[in-house]
Amino acid sequence: MVKIRLKRMGMKKAPFYRIVVIDSRDARDGRPIEEIGYFNPMTEPADLKVDPERAQYWLGVGAQPTQTVKTLLRKAGVAK
């Protein structure tokens, strides 16, 4: 199953996340199929960017977003 989830980047105590499409059996920081955006919770306000076309494509072909990514996609105006 293909998932849309966060891939942790950055340093200790300074996380930065990429929103990636990845096989659910792969490791959290494994090689993704595609990167569709990023999320930086350390900035004020939090920095969020998502490619809406690619996100809609992957949701359309059955990729399952995690609960956190689902919330971020709603904030970005991509998903309802």
- Enclosing domain of residue 9: 2-76
Structure confidence by residue, pLDDT tens digits, 55-65: 999 999 999 99
66 class by beta-carbon count within 10 Å (0-12 exposed, 13-18 middle, 19+ buried) = middle
Q: What CATH number is attached to the domain comprising 57?
A: 3.30.1320.10
Q: What is residue 29's predicted lDDT score, i.e. its pLDDT?
A: 84
Number of domains the chain is built from: 1
Model pTM score: 0.90
Structure confidence by residue, pLDDT tens digits, 23-70: 999 888 889 999 999 999 999 998 999 999 999 999 999 999 999 999
